Structure 1
Amino acid sequence: MKTNEWEASFEAYAQKLINEFQVPGAIVAVAKEGELLYEKTFGYRDREEKAPIDLDTVFGIGSITKSFTCLAIMQLQEEGKLSIHDPVVTYLPEFRTRDEAHTKAVTIHHFMTHSPGLPPLPALIPAMLPSLKADPTAEELLKQFEKDCKEPIDTYEQLMTYIAEHPYELLGPPGTEFSYCNEAYGLLGAIIERVSGKKYEEYVQEHILQPLGMDRSVFYVEELGADDNCTMLYTPRVKDGVREALRAPGWWDSPSMLAAGFLKSTARDMLRYADVYRTGGASGDVRVISEVSATQMTAPHIKTDLVRSYGYGLGTQSFHEKYTLIQHTGGLKGITSVMFIIPEAGLTGVVLTNVDDAPISNLVLGLLNSLFDRPLETPLVTFATYEAPLAQLQESHGTYKSGEGDEVKIRFDEENKQLVLAAGGEALPLRPIGEDSFLLNRNNIDMQVRFVRNSEGQVKRFVMGGRQMPKVEA
């Protein structure tokens, strides 16, 4: 494999980030037209044992699992066993929201596009409860969600009961509001099971992983037997102002949310999988869905911000003039991952790390810019200056909190006449880029955020990271 001109500068950039964020191990792999173009490993799969990483090292992929879940749904639609526009209650009659008419209107499509109208809920924590209780590094997380962890959510039925009984305000009619929803994806697993007659993980294994030759991709690492080419997990801590990565053995698991983010895979297997979306449904000589279904999966079904949209288990945006960037990230303890596809350029890529909160956005930005011969830190998108009315800025201050535990405070800076976001000890200015839309820069990465108003024009929610966080205090 010949050396590309950009490799040295990218690797120096990546190594600096990896050192700064104390990432124990990572792999970056890119293919062009299905052939490996670039591969680079950093650090170790097990830092203490100095165990190396290669293309076949098993990492967690987190929420990239969601694309596998949607692929399974599309396969079942092709077989005539369901329609993505069927109401969810057709297959899950136990499903309930806070409003009966709303419940009946929610379709599989709404689940797949994170638009069933549910705000962020804390269900993932009790859904992982046995794993968390067995993990000493999860002690603080369990304390934070103590009131939500009286009982584990081990079954789909328990998950549906939780959604029905948990107090929350619906975001809007189904299909109108995007808010990232792990609960919806957990229940897509239930639909797959009831329609196919197989366990979710068995269906994915038989209909996606095995046909594509992804023989090192598993939901449970125990399936790998004595094979030790599997990453150790690490989790970040800040001690005396210094970031460190703690060794944190033990994969978190969730039987009721398996379809939302618990697959493990390798760089080699993931490049093989990403080809499905590059080619329109096939990888090599194996077709797993039709071109029509693949196109539906990568279509921009719902806007997530000013430039990005969400398809079925995959995000999409325009990139570098004539290209489309299709991607999804994943994160959990010991996991930060991304898969990307640029079909028009014939490119697929994956970045896998063995610590949560790794600088994945920076790494991917540097990689994409290198591939397209642009300066390493060139933003994917630039925005013109927008003059936000002062009254609108002043209306947006307050505290916003999600059921997943995120909390931000927005204050109006009188001196500079701008909004400032405070979270996690940071104070970040918000730059207006559109009506109620702003840009914040964290760790040299631009993130779009926005405010959501009700029909009376009052600011009710703040959207960050795809999650709609209700205003809890003015």
Structure 2
Amino acid sequence: MRTFRSICFVALGVFAGNAWAADPAYDRIVDDVVARYHLPGVAVGVIEDGKVTYTRTVGEAEAGSGKPITSQSIFKIASNSKAMTASVLARLVDQGKLHWDDPVVKYLPDFRMHDPWVTEHMLVRDLLVHNSGLPEGGGDLMLWPEPNHFSREDIVHGLGYIKPAYGFRAGYAYDNLLYVVAGQVAAAAGGAPYETLVQREIFAPLHLSRCRVGAFDRDATGNVAQPHVRGEDGRYKVGDNTDAVHVEPIASAPAGGIRCSLDDMLAWMGNWLAPTEAQKPWLSAEQRKQMWLARTPMPVSARRKRWDNTHVYAYGYGFRMADVDGQWTVSHTGTLSGMYSMMMLLPDKRSGFVFMINGDADDARTVLGETLLKQFTAPQQHATVKQYADELDAEAKAAAAASKPAKKAEVARKPVVAPFDATRTGTWRDPWFGVVRVCPAGDRLTFVSDKSPLMHGTIVKVGDRWRIDWDEDRMDLEAWVDFKGDGVARRMTLAKVDPDGDFSSDYEDLAFERTGECPAR
């Protein structure tokens, strides 16, 4: 299904009176991507020279529901939330309530990093630019899978136990936890909970009427897109992490917990690309400049160099910056189980695009984003959807073929029931993740986490190794379990079976000590 709408935005009049129609080039791109990847639903919007010129919605908010995606459908924007969190801080800087160079401990006295010197010298701006020394995705198991029982206070406390992977301000590694800390700093400086600040500083003044953060009623809100995952047949199905009627607040909101509609995301983009005279005071020219300064260099992949001729790639305050075909871009993506998104701005052209997909769609996002981007940077020279998609498929096949045969054989060995060995069973504790229990349950040996209830599974023996086979489908990365030592010195560590799996499954950052026996059954 497609929807073309001519409406008047009320976001301080930013797009008032603008109408748009179908564009064959954009239609062809969207059609080809949807057909190639069988997407459950997608919403796409384009701004050209400060005006919305195209919108397109396809599919259903929930497969089989008959409820179409519209420009008012609410999607999880995942890490596109980071720019909004950074903007809350920028607003507070404009108001004189904090400064970018303030120490974090000024606002959060209990804040700790693993190194006391880093604790003392961590500044508010350091929270936003991914150069803290934390390992990539370090501590993300306190955020995902959801729902879990970790609070923001738990996250602030747990940071002190996560060992750094490199020196402070010495390199780039993407993290989420420090954005949660940034939300707590904003709350302390702004005198209100993070969710209240986002409503007050972002949604209300920019009239983002469909955006949501924190608790809300799904049915009263209406038109809420649900996440989808790929089934064994390669087709999408509704995920098991669909929303309850009462959507609860989540600790991860400052890093990736905001939801918005296509109309609201276009209004958000317009505020950055072509702010009206009424909008300009929302954020000072100085703070707008600070948000988009390239601060932490990021690695430029071979594909990015080949496709886009990129020379500079860097992170700012909640945004990524890069040159593409000689043009400057400001962007971010969002990734959650069953929800993918991208926002791409070309400031010099006052143009850009945004799209949101309610399905696990890594390759689809890459291909859709690249083909849309080339409409602005190289309209006569870019490849087709099929060419980009075929190249990604070839890369994946090559990577699979290059996997170590011994590793493949080890994973493929038939698992057997793990013995109830007293040196392995018991209660175990990691200083930031908390308590887990490795205990018999009937004829199974199970792994159960206290604070992350979806992390429960059966421990099996595969050759000479032990593995956790998770009970929940959304736990898609199995984990190896290794036991070392004896007596009070017993240790348990985890590692991804697929070492190239998503970094948010940061099993490698866990280090459990045995603290007691299994509870009596």
TM-score > 0.5, shorter chain as reference: yes
SS in 1 for 2:206: coil
CA distance in 2, matches of 1:300, 1:347: 20
Alignment of 1:82-121 (within 5 A): 82-121=98-137
Q: Which of the pair is proportionally richer in strand?
A: 1
1:63 CA displacement:
0.7
When residues 172 and 376 of structure 1 are mapped into structure 2, their CA distance, relative to the original with a 3 A threshold, is same
Question: Which letter maps to 1:345?
Answer: K
Question: Which letter maps to 1:315?
Answer: R
Say if 2:292 and 2:321, in contact at 8 Å, map to a contact too. Answer: yes
When residues 315 and 465 of structure 1 are mapped into structure 2, their CA distance, relative to the original with a 3 A threshold, is farther
> Which of residues 374, 380, 399 in structure 2 aligns to 1:374?
380
1:130 CA displacement:
6.0
Question: Which letter maps to 2:323?
Answer: S
When residues 127 and 277 of structure 1 are mapped into structure 2, their CA distance, relative to the original with a 3 A threshold, is same
When residues 305 and 120 of structure 1 are mapped into structure 2, their CA distance, relative to the original with a 3 A threshold, is closer
Say if 1:128 and 1:253, in contact at 8 Å, map to a contact too. Answer: no
When residues 93 and 220 of structure 1 are mapped into structure 2, their CA distance, relative to the original with a 3 A threshold, is closer
Say if 1:369 and 1:378, in contact at 8 Å, map to a contact too. Answer: no
When residues 289 and 158 of structure 1 are mapped into structure 2, their CA distance, relative to the original with a 3 A threshold, is same
CA distance in 1, matches of 2:214, 2:56: 26
- Counterpart for residue 285 of structure 1: 278
- Counterpart for residue 139 of structure 1: none
Pairing 1:39–2:55 present = yes
CA distance in 2, matches of 1:409, 1:172: 33
When residues 319 and 159 of structure 1 are mapped into structure 2, their CA distance, relative to the original with a 3 A threshold, is same
Pairing 1:250–2:243 present = yes
- Counterpart for residue 58 of structure 1: 74
CA distance in 1, matches of 2:507, 2:69: 42
1:128 CA displacement:
4.7
- How many equivalent residue pairs? 373
1:218 CA displacement:
0.7
Pairing 1:182–2:188 present = no
Say if 1:236 and 1:357, in contact at 8 Å, map to a contact too. Answer: no
Over the aligned positions, Cα root-mean-square deviation in angstroms equals 3.5
TM-score (norm 1): 0.70
Question: Which letter maps to 2:124?
Answer: I
1:284 CA displacement:
6.3
1:305 CA displacement:
1.7
- Counterpart for residue 356 of structure 1: 360
CA distance in 2, matches of 1:370, 1:360: 16
CA distance in 2, matches of 1:191, 1:71: 13
When residues 296 and 464 of structure 1 are mapped into structure 2, their CA distance, relative to the original with a 3 A threshold, is farther
When residues 338 and 172 of structure 1 are mapped into structure 2, their CA distance, relative to the original with a 3 A threshold, is same
- Counterpart for residue 11 of structure 1: 27
Question: Which letter maps to 2:161?
Answer: E
Question: Which letter maps to 1:91?
Answer: Y
Q: 1:390-428: per-residue Cα shift (whole Å, max 9, x none)?
A: xxxxxxxxxxxxxxxxxx999799xxxxxxxxxx99xxx
CA distance in 2, matches of 1:412, 1:122: 25
> In terms of mean alpha carbon deviation, does 217-226 or 89-98 score higher?
217-226
- Counterpart for residue 160 of structure 2: 164
1:83 CA displacement:
1.2
When residues 118 and 254 of structure 1 are mapped into structure 2, their CA distance, relative to the original with a 3 A threshold, is farther
1:187 CA displacement:
0.5
1:370 CA displacement:
2.6
When residues 191 and 221 of structure 1 are mapped into structure 2, their CA distance, relative to the original with a 3 A threshold, is closer
1:466 CA displacement:
9.5
Say if 1:55 and 1:267, in contact at 8 Å, map to a contact too. Answer: yes
Pairing 1:125–2:119 present = no
- Counterpart for residue 39 of structure 2: 23
When residues 102 and 224 of structure 1 are mapped into structure 2, their CA distance, relative to the original with a 3 A threshold, is same
When residues 338 and 260 of structure 1 are mapped into structure 2, their CA distance, relative to the original with a 3 A threshold, is same
Which of 1 and 2 has greater Rg? 2
When residues 123 and 250 of structure 1 are mapped into structure 2, their CA distance, relative to the original with a 3 A threshold, is farther
1:311 CA displacement:
0.7
Which consecutive unaligned segments of at least 5 residues does structure 2 have?
A: 1-18, 301-311, 386-398, 405-410, 413-498, 510-521
CA distance in 2, matches of 1:465, 1:293: 33
CA distance in 1, matches of 2:140, 2:182: 15
SS in 1 for 2:286: helix
Alignment of 1:260-271 (within 5 A): 260-271=255-266
- Counterpart for residue 16 of structure 2: none
Which consecutive unaligned segments of at least 5 residues does structure 1 have?
A: 133-151, 380-407, 414-423, 426-461
Q: 1:359-398: per-residue Cα shift (whole Å, max 9, x none)?
A: 112111111223452344389xxxxxxxxxxxxxxxxxxx
Alignment of 1:185-196 (within 5 A): 185-196=179-190
Question: Which letter maps to 2:278?
Answer: D
CA distance in 2, matches of 1:303, 1:378: 30
Identity of counterpart residues, as a percentage?
22
1:58 CA displacement:
1.0
When residues 369 and 466 of structure 1 are mapped into structure 2, their CA distance, relative to the original with a 3 A threshold, is farther
Q: 1:424-451: per-residue Cα shift (whole Å, max 9, x none)?
A: 99xxxxxxxxxxxxxxxxxxxxxxxxxx
Pairing 1:259–2:246 present = no
CA distance in 1, matches of 2:102, 2:95: 15
Pairing 1:324–2:328 present = yes
Question: Which letter maps to 2:380?
Answer: R
Question: Which letter maps to 1:78?
Answer: D
SS in 2 for 1:255: coil
> Which of residues 323, 331, 340 in structure 2 aligns to 1:336?
340
SS in 2 for 1:63: helix
CA distance in 1, matches of 2:355, 2:230: 18
TM-score (norm 2): 0.64
When residues 224 and 316 of structure 1 are mapped into structure 2, their CA distance, relative to the original with a 3 A threshold, is same
> Which of residues 295, 300, 307 in structure 1 aligns to 2:289?
295
